[in-house]
Chain A
């Protein structure tokens, strides 16, 4: 026992006297925030992204690797609005990192800086996976990305004050490029205005709000509940009265039900990248929206 304790205390001593890394460690819960932190932080930040575009961010394992990465983080960048409620609290309690706890400067929640949609008027689990703060999938509207980038840039400067001017310059550059790109997307997407769509999961209210898409049905009978055959046939009947142009799903959704509806209703099924890495083309935030707009346009041709 005594020897083991000695070994323990020695290793504690060794590890805590290691020199700190130069770059600011950013732990991003979702790929879009990882990409944004990289755009705004450049070589001054080392970004770790906890999840990938093929995963359902509602359901993530609180894996040991995530605990280890969170332990080192100087800044935690997540969506918030209860999106990560099933796993982030466990990581935070296990990581023993006071810098990134809720309320600290090192804890950044993107959803605080945008206007939330779909805020439920009643909270009941009988309604499925509802989020009290509103729909958390805010990243599908580039105007939200712009708002979050303003706030994140300020936060980076606050956490890493010595590089504040660098972050300001980076942000100025990004904001300009983003504004230009947004104008381009909006011009390209003009034909999509008012188009009726079916979505698999209620993950696109912000995209719909941005492009003026009209959601007429969802494949999930309730948010977070997998599509059932009875509900799918209801949707199909509904589409006879109220036709839609396409059925949309996120890259991580299983394709089966949207494929089924696509064949029956004879409308294209569109897999949107949803976040960075969700398609071969969506390599960063810019190409994410390039690809999203392109896929939607291809579907209405």
Chain B
């Protein structure tokens, strides 16, 4: 409005100028001059404002263009499907063919083992198919479920856990069902094992592998050397038992792992673990003094020490063509409690105590891309066993079970493996079982990252 008025005045002024001069009214002229000056300033400042606004707009536009360019680069890699947030799904398929010289009534002479142990049945066997779902839950939690689909058409929950991801000071808390971090091999899924079966010491003392329902606290030290301390507390579902139905828990463990590098070509990890568990009605296959197959049951207290180490070597740390892995573990178990002899007929319960140990040592050598060969030696030491009133039926044996295994495997990619294994299994005093296994293990779906 003001501008319009000023413009009109300016035009008027131009025409009226001579008249005004003639009028020679200096006051009026002065007022007009001031008004023109003000108009001029007014316009200049407006033009300046407009120019600066234009400049800003241009910069913004340029930036937007740049951002749009960047966006096109990024967008192409971004999934837009509604299932983009589904967890990683991985599937492990495995199967075995077994040829064995002895029957499948497996037991370990002199050891009240328990759990699903032994070399399994003869002929074609579908292994456990593992179906895993893993994902971050939110910024604070990570979780996963691993189902084991057994060949007898049953489904087992192998792992179902949640763990924290953002606790400070290197602390991680885990809850649910998970493989215990005791020892070295215990935490590893069966499909990552270097042999078809687990070591005898694991079969005798941990019922193959110890996974429990409970909580785990781990702390990683802020040191150059890897130092990890941890403790677990759970219901004690060892060797196919159900764990304790009581307030508190039926199993506790503590463990320490250390590790590091030796130059650029080799690395190592060693550990010491202690597990205390109170199994209830732990069924174990055995052979009585008359030579009949029976099942015993143990309820009591079981303490297991584990010492483990692994050393891996590859030239310059490049395992494509050549690598070597040496691994060994020692387990010692002491047990006190009640052993029921032959639960199916005699069912005589008596005090039982035992102190026994075992170890294994294995080496796996990659001699060509895709090809590995390995040897393993297993031994259990009978130690001292007291059967109490049952000593008439269960002979005290000084037999030390042993097993020797050799394997050759071929992995044309990191997702597939075919393995041949031969073993001479002297778990049973009365019979040496000569075994040949052919196994495949395949991994489908999300790219699994394997633990050390």
Contact = CB atoms under 8 A, between A and B. Distances in A.
Contact of B449 (A71, A87, A125): A87
A55 B318 contact: yes
Interface string A93-127: 11111100101000000001011100100000100
Interface in A223-262: 224-226, 252, 254
A88 B170 contact: no
A130 B167 CA distance: 35
5 contacts: A54-B316, A67-B220, A68-B225, A90-B449, A224-B413
If over half of A's interface residues share one DSSP class (helix, strand or loop), that class is named, otherwise mixed; here it is: loop
Interface string B398-423: 00000000000000111100000000
B106 to A, nearest CB: 34
Contact of B267 (A64, A94, A133): A64
Contacts, number: 154
B171 interface: yes
B450 A254 contact: no
Contacts of A93: 142, 163, 165, 172
A96 B77 contact: no
B312 A61 contact: yes
Contacts of A81: 77
A64 B266 CA distance: 11
Interface string A117-157: 00100000100110011100000000000000000000000
A254 B319 CA distance: 11
B222 A90 contact: no
Interface in B226-259: 226-229, 231, 252, 254, 257-259
A158 interface: no
B413 to A, nearest CB: 7
A85 B317 contact: no
Chain A interface size, as a band, is: 35 or more
A8 B229 contact: yes
Give the residue among B252, B268, B269, B452 with the most A Cβ atoms within 10 A.
B452
B361 to A, nearest CB: 20
Given A16-B222, A63-B261, 7 more contacts: A12-B169, A56-B318, A68-B226, A68-B260, A87-B449, A125-B415, A254-B320
A195 to B, nearest CB: 28
Contacts of A165: none
B226 A226 contact: no
Contacts of B221: 11, 15, 68, 71
Given A85-B447, A115-B73, A52 B172 contact: no
Nearest to B219: A12
Interface string A6-19: 00100110011010
Contact of B447 (A16, A60, A68, A86): A86
A116 B77 CA distance: 9
A52 B316 contact: yes
B123 interface: no
Interface of A: 1, 4-5, 8, 11-12, 15-16, 18, 51-52, 54-56, 59-65, 67-69, 71-72, 81-82, 85-90, 93-98, 101, 103, 112, 114-116, 119, 125, 128-129, 132-134, 224-226, 252, 254
B156 interface: no
Given A64-B269, A226-B369, A95 B220 contact: yes
Contacts of B223: 15, 68
A229 to B, nearest CB: 13
B449 A85 contact: yes
Contacts of B252: 1
B4 interface: no
A26 B449 CA distance: 23
A119 B450 contact: no
A281 to B, nearest CB: 18
A22 B228 CA distance: 24
Nearest to A60: B317
Given A61-B312, A65-B226, A119-B77, A225 B220 contact: no
A224 B223 CA distance: 35
B37 interface: no
B275 to A, nearest CB: 11
B71 to A, nearest CB: 12
A72 B223 CA distance: 8
B414 A5 contact: no
Contacts of A86: 414, 447, 449-450
B317 A54 contact: yes
B321 interface: yes
